């Protein structure tokens, strides 16, 4: 089943076209990577899908519904959440508090942070469930600022999961991680695909090739290739332009 479709999606900045007629279909429970050099349009593509900026033209269809131009808040409510390249945690709060606030906000407590459609016990159970899934339960009361870089990035994924997404967008989730942290996070991302779809922007080709069901390659805002990891590795245009190069 298809969960997301983009139709001739374009985004211009003045006279520069950042994404150009992007037509992509994403399946439920699919692990899709989008690769390409810096400036290819990957993050702009994420921003348009999640409502952080409107497209110049084209449509975004989610679960058969046109969500083009909807606000980020509305899109999260529909079941699309994301992480960012830069850290977006509350460093002075504990790991538990970071996720709890996200759970409360997504359950109707955005205006009064301690008011929610869920009871306090329900919020606590949901928060503990997310931390357990992430492998962070033992660090629940550690200040987020005291976590390792890798655990901070994992915590960001937990905050995104608080929205109970059906589609999760991850923007360079393993950037700056040690090999051990990268291995752990890669395994976690793959496990998450058991009950949601993931679109991954990632520069680490070992990660991309290890966990992707399908890869889309962007170049100057256009999709120039699509296929399985094996097909992308055999694609001469992609190999010459991207694989093995520093971006």
Q: What is the CATH number of the domain that holds 41?
A: 3.40.50.300
Domain end residue (candidates: 148, 163, 178): 163
CA angle centred on 108, ends 46 and 142, rounded to 5° = 75
45 and 105 co-located in one domain: no
Helix-, strand-, coil-residue percentages of the chain, each rounded to 5: 40, 25, 35
CA atoms within 13 A on the CB side of 139: 19
Residues for the chain: how many in total? Answer: 247
Q: Stretch 89-108: mean pLDDT, rounded?
A: 90
Query: Which structural domain range is residue 21 located in?
Result: 1-79+165-247
- Structurally, how many domains does the chain consist of? 2
Please give the pLDDT value at position 2.
96
Q: Residue 131: in which H helix or E strand, if any?
A: helix 120-134
169 and 191 co-located in one domain: yes
List the beta strands (DSSP E) in 14-164: 16-27, 31-35, 57-62, 65-66, 80-82
What whole-number distance in Å separates Cα of residue 206 and Cα of residue 42? 19
60 and 102 co-located in one domain: no
Q: Stretch 223-245: mean pLDDT, rounded?
A: 84
Domain end residue (candidates: 163, 194, 219): 163
- Residue 244 pLDDT exceeds 80: no
- Cβ 199 vs Cβ 207: under 8 Å: no
Domain end residue (candidates: 128, 163, 198): 163
Please give the pLDDT value at position 105.
85
Mean pLDDT is lowest, of 113-127, 148-162, 190-204, for 113-127
Q: Stretch 184-189: mean pLDDT, rounded?
A: 95
Please give the pLDDT value at position 121.
83
169 and 232 co-located in one domain: yes
pTM (predicted TM-score): 0.90
- Residue 44 pLDDT exceeds 60: yes
- Give the other-Cβ count within 10 Å of 62's Cβ: 22
67 and 94 co-located in one domain: no
Residue 227, Cα to own-chain centre: how many angstroms?
20
96 and 151 co-located in one domain: yes
Please give the pLDDT value at position 118.
57
Mean pLDDT is lowest, of 73-82, 119-128, 167-176, for 119-128
């Amino acid at each position: 089943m298809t969960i997301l479709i983009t139709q001739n999606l374009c985004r211009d900045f003045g006279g520069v076209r950042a994404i150009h007629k992007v037509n992509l279909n994403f399946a439920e429970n699919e692990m899709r990577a989008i690769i390409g050099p810096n400036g290819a349009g990957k993050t702009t593509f994420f921003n348009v899908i999640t409502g952080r900026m409107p497209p110049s033209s084209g449509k975004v269809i989610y679960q058969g519904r046109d969500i083009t131009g909807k606000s980020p808040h509305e899109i999260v409510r529909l079941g699309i959440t994301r992480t960012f390249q830069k850290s977006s945690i509350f460093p002075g709060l504990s790991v538990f508090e970071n996720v709890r606030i996200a759970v409360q906000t997504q359950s109707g407590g955005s205006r009064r942070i301690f008011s929610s459609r869920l009871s306090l016990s329900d919020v606590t159970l949901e928060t503990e469930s997310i931390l357990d899934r992430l492998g962070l339960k033992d660090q629940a009361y550690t200040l987020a600022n005291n976590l390792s870089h890798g655990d901070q990035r994992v915590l960001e994924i937990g905050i995104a999961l608080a929205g109970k997404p059906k589609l999760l967008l991850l923007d360079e989730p393993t950037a700056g991680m040690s090999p051990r942290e990268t291995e752990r996070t890669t395994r976690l991302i793959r496990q998450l695909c058991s009950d949601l779809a993931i679109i991954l922007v990632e520069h680490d080709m070992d990660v991309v090739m290890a966990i992707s069901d399908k890869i889309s390659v962007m170049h100057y805002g256009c999709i120039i290739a699509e296929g399985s990891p094996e097909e992308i590795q055999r694609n001469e245009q992609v190999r010459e332009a991207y694989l093995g190069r520093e971006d």
